[in-house]
């Protein structure tokens, strides 16, 4: 019986002591934001990388529709294209070294090249939101924090919507969504890097409908370039179309503020 009471007291302390240690809402948000790697909030201005992508590998992981081009067109026209990407703190630009008109004159209106560019832009734009700390509420946003079984629940409003974020005890974001809506949600994973949390996985529902078979799952690994953690290998899994895109960023050069 004594053991039961001591165990109960210990359990209650875990709940109430944890609650008492939770900082006020504004302080919590400030502390949480400081835990994420945000290279553009330091002195990174931009980075530029070559995009390594294999159409041959891609067609082993995707249902081929046919409007991308024939095997010969893919091998001789699209695969030799040398794409590069430039990322600043507010945009992602992919370039094939051709004008838009030149791309449109490629076989099938340049469909294959346009699909690849879209995949790279989509995945890096989502990474950019995390690397800009835009995935969390802005500093000064009215929020409410309360303890949860796994860590913390962060509540705030976006216009008329009630948004809830679930954070682990180390303040790494795990999920976010509109309160009361299972379909309008996202699942997120971060790992600790040299300068803070790095986005490793981001899952969202296609057309805002989050459910198995309809998710877009983005995953990232990292490389260190002049002390900045930049994406290296990126994968996009589009469940509804049974397609996976893999690409690698190489030869990256960074521009920093003086």
Residue 123 lies in a domain: yes
pLDDT digits (tens, 9 = 90+) for 157-211: 999 999 999 999 999 999 999 998 888 899 999 999 999 999 999 999 998 899 9
- Total domain count, the chain: 1
Residue 154 lies in a domain: yes
pLDDT of residue 258: 80
Q: Which stretches of the chain drop beneath a pLDDT of 70? A: 1-22
Name the residue range of residue 88's domain.
24-256
The full length of the chain comes to 258
Residue 12 lies in a domain: no
Q: Is the dihedral of CA 118, 251, 248, 255 positive or negative?
A: negative
The helix/strand/coil state of 174 is strand
pLDDT of residue 89: 94
pLDDT of residue 22: 59
Residue 6 lies in a domain: no
Q: Where are the beta strands (DSSP E) in the chain?
A: 44-52, 84-88, 92-95, 143-147, 151-158, 161-168, 173-178, 185-193, 196-205, 215-225, 228-238, 243-256
């Amino acid at each position: 019986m004594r053991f039961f009471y001591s165990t109960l007291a210990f359990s209650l302390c875990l709940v109430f002591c944890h609650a008492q240690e939770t900082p006020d809402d504004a302080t919590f948000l400030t502390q949480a934001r400081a835990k994420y790697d945000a290279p553009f909030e330091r002195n990174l201005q931009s980075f530029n990388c070559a995009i390594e992508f294999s159409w041959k590998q891609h067609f082993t992981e995707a249902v081929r529709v046919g409007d991308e081009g024939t095997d010969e067109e893919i091998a001789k026209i699209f695969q030799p294209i040398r794409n590069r990407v430039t990322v600043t703190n507010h945009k992602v630009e992919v370039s094939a070294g051709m004008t838009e008109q030149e791309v449109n004159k490629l076989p099938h209106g340049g469909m294959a090249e346009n699909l690849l560019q879209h995949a790279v832009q989509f995945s890096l734009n989502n990474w950019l939101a995390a690397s800009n700390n835009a995935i969390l509420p802005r500093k000064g946003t009215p929020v409410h924090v309360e303890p949860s079984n796994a860590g913390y629940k962060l509540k705030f409003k976006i216009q008329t919507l009630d948004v809830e974020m679930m954070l682990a005890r180390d303040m790494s974001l795990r999920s976010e969504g509109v309160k009361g809506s299972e379909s309008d949600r996202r699942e997120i994973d971060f790992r600790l890097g040299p300068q803070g949390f790095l986005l490793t996985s981001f899952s969202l529902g296609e057309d805002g409908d989050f459910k198995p078979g309809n998710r877009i799952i983005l995953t990232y690994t990292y490389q260190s370039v002049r002390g900045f953690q930049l994406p290296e290998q990126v994968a996009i899994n589009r469940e509804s179309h049974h397609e996976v895109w893999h690409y690698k960023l190489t030869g990256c050069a960074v521009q920093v503020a003086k």
